[in-house]
Structures are given as structure tokens and as C-alpha cells.
Amino acid sequence: MADSHAKHHDYHLVDPSPWPVVGSISVLILAIGAVQFLHDGSPWVFSIGMLGVLYTMLGWWRDVVKEADKGDHTPVVQLHHRYGMILFIASEVMFFVAWFWAYFDASLYPGEAIQASRTELTGGVWPPQGIETFDPWHLPLINTLILLTSGTTVTWAHHALQHDDREGLKWGLILTVALGALFTVFQVYEYQHAAFGFSGHIYGATFFMATGFHGFHVIVGTIFLGVCLMRAVNGHFSSQQHFGFEAAAWYWHFVDVVWLFLFIVIYILGAGAPGAH
């Protein structure tokens, strides 16, 4: 009888789980609440849906962690997890391609873009006349150095984990989370001192959408690594099995690369004449 239930394969058959159903219902409530919020401003249905989505994420990922601790994530399962993470990052790349495409279209054909926007800006140049852009060599450069440094600290943490250095793992993650939070603080400060707004012209719309969504990804990555830090403190991860941390490191490096491209294209190449800063 025991042999009939023995596992003779490298795959993991997931136990019956409520999270797909709970998550689907929560997303439906979230979508209905978002529509209602945009029409009459009532946030209650939207908030209930958001709480349901967050609860689903917490419960589902908790179950995945338990599966990993029990040894259910065989090398084949871990390989498929890696495939899934690669596809997720690829979808994120396409997401940012959309915003960069909008920025390139507006910057390469500024006459048409500015004429189509609701603004008093004039001139077929980019950035538009009347826009005071950020100096890329001040706060944007500092934020670039912060993210590049955080990429080295998360790599240090990964290297320490591979060599069973638990203290190095913890300190590498602590520094990475701190640097990610510092980046967010500086970006909020930058937004507060912007000489242009989001609405009314194409430059502000493309700038804030590209940099703002990147900032959101930095916040998500910081939370991702913060969870990994808590797991590391609780004794999770080993040199042989640590995909949860590896996925967070991949995501963080993706955020770094996107920022480098954004810094070069939008802050440096799109800065215009020095007098526009």
C-alpha cells in the first residue's frame, strides 16, 4: 500500500489549495472596486479587493516556502521556477519597453507630440521649450551610485550564501534593503522639487510614468529582499537550495539595469541644454 503512494518522479504535485479561487475572487473585487473608485471616488470595494489580493499573496507564498522547507522543490521543480522567473522578468522588460517607446516617439517627433498635448509649450524641440529638466549630475547621479552599490551588496549576499557565510548573507541583505529605501527617499525628494508636473504636456507624462514605475519596482524589490532578510534571520536558505533569494537578486539586478538605461536616455540625453536645468 505504501509503495502505491510512493513518488517515483522528480515533480511535485501540489496539495489542494484554496488560493487560486480566493485570489481570483479578490482580483474580481479589486477590478470592480477600481472602476467604482474612478467613477464616484468610493475606495471601500477597492480596499477590500486589495486586502484579499495581499492576503492571497501572503498565504500562497507561505505555502510555497513550507514546500521548499519540506524538500518538495527538487532540482527539476527549481529549474521550472527559474523558467517562470525568467518569463516574469521578460514580461517586465516589455512593460518598460512601452514607456520608453512613448518617450522615444515624443522625443524624436516633438512637434507632433507637443501639438497634440494640452499645453502652452512651444517649439519642435526636446525637451520642449519651457521645461526645466533635472541636472543629471546631481541627485540622479547619486541615485545611480546608490543602485549600483546595492547591486554589489546583493551579489555579496548571494556569494556569502553559496559559501555558507550566514553573517555575510544577513549584512549584505541589510545593506541592500537600506540602499533601496534610500533610493526611494531621494526619488520622492526629487519629485517634490520637480519644475514640471505630470499632466498638461507629454514630457511630464512620459518622465513620471517611466521613472515612477521604476520607483514602484524599487519598492517591490526592497520588500522582496526584506522578506528574504527575515527568512535568512530565521535560518532559511542553504547553499544548495535558495531560489527565493536568487529570484529576488535577479529582480534587483533587472531594476538596476532599467535604471541605468533610464538615467542615460531620460536624464542625460534628454536633459537638453545646460541652461534648461
Give per-residue pLDDT as tens, 152-170.
999 999 999 999 999 999 9
pLDDT of residue 198: 83
So where are the chain's domains?
1-72, 73-276
pLDDT of amino acid 40? 86
State the fold for domain 73-276.
Four Helix Bundle (Hemerythrin (Met), subunit A) (1.20.120)
The label of the residue with cell 534648461 reads 276
What contacts 24+ positions apart, CB below 8 Å, involve 144-150? Answer: 144/259, 144/260, 144/263, 146/179, 146/182, 146/183, 146/186, 147/179, 147/183, 147/218, 147/255, 147/256, 147/259, 148/256, 149/179, 150/175, 150/176, 150/179, 150/180, 150/183, 150/252, 150/256
Q: What are the helix and strand counts (H, E) for the chain?
A: 8, 0
Please state which architecture CATH assigns to domain 1-72. Answer: Orthogonal Bundle (1.10)
pLDDT of 217-276, one tens digit each? Answer: 999 999 999 999 999 999 898 888 888 999 999 999 999 999 999 999 999 988 765 444
| Contact between residue 189 and residue 139 where contact means Cβ atoms under 8 Å apart | yes
Q: What is the per-residue pLDDT for 272?
A: 64
Alpha carbons 125 and 80: distance in angstroms, whole number: 48
**Cβ 269 vs Cβ 261: under 8 Å:** no
Query: What integer pLDDT is reported at residue 116 of this predicted model?
Result: 52
pLDDT of residue 8: 67
Can you list the residues of the chain whose pLDDT is less than 70? Answer: 1-9, 111-124, 272-277
